Structure 1
Amino acid sequence: MSLKTLKKQRRIQIVALTAFALLVSTAMIGYAMRDGINFFRSPSQLVAEPPSPSETFRIGGLVEEGSIERGNGHEIRFNVTDGGATVPVVFAGVLPDLFSENQGMVGTGRYVSGVFEASEILAKHDETYMPKEVIDALKEQGVYEAPES
Structure 2
Amino acid sequence: MALKSLKKKRRVQVIAMTAVALIVSTALIGYAMRDGINFFRSPSQVVETPPSPSETFRIGGLVEEGSLVRGQGQEIRFRVTDGGATVPVVYSGVLPDLFEENQGMVGTGRYVNGVFEAHEILAKHDETYMPKEVVDALKEQGVYQEPGS
Is the shorter-chain TM-score for this pair beyond 0.5, marking a shared fold? yes
1:1-149 correspondence runs (5 A): 2-148=2-148
Alignment RMSD: 1.1
Q: Residue type of the partner of 2:13?
A: Q
Instruction: Name the % identity.
Output: 82
Poorly superposed stretches of 4+, deviation over 4 Å = none
Partner Cα separation in structure 1 for residue 45 and residue 16 of structure 2: 45
Partner Cα separation in structure 1 for residue 33 and residue 116 of structure 2: 23
When the two structures are superposed, what TM-score results if normalisation uses the length of structure 2?
A: 0.96
The C-alpha deviation readout for 1:66-105, integer Å capped at 9, x for no partner, is: 1111111111110000011000001111111100111000
Deviation at 1:50, TM superposition (A): 0.6
Q: Residue type of the partner of 1:90?
A: V
Partner Cα separation in structure 1 for residue 128 and residue 101 of structure 2: 15
Where does structure 2 lack aligned partners over 5 or more consecutive residues? none
Deviation at 1:12, TM superposition (A): 1.2
Partner Cα separation in structure 2 for residue 136 and residue 18 of structure 1: 44
Partner Cα separation in structure 2 for residue 21 and residue 73 of structure 1: 50
How many aligned residue pairs are there?
A: 149
Deviation at 1:2, TM superposition (A): 2.2
When the two structures are superposed, what TM-score results if normalisation uses the length of structure 1?
A: 0.96
Q: Residue type of the partner of 1:109?
A: G
Deviation at 1:148, TM superposition (A): 2.5
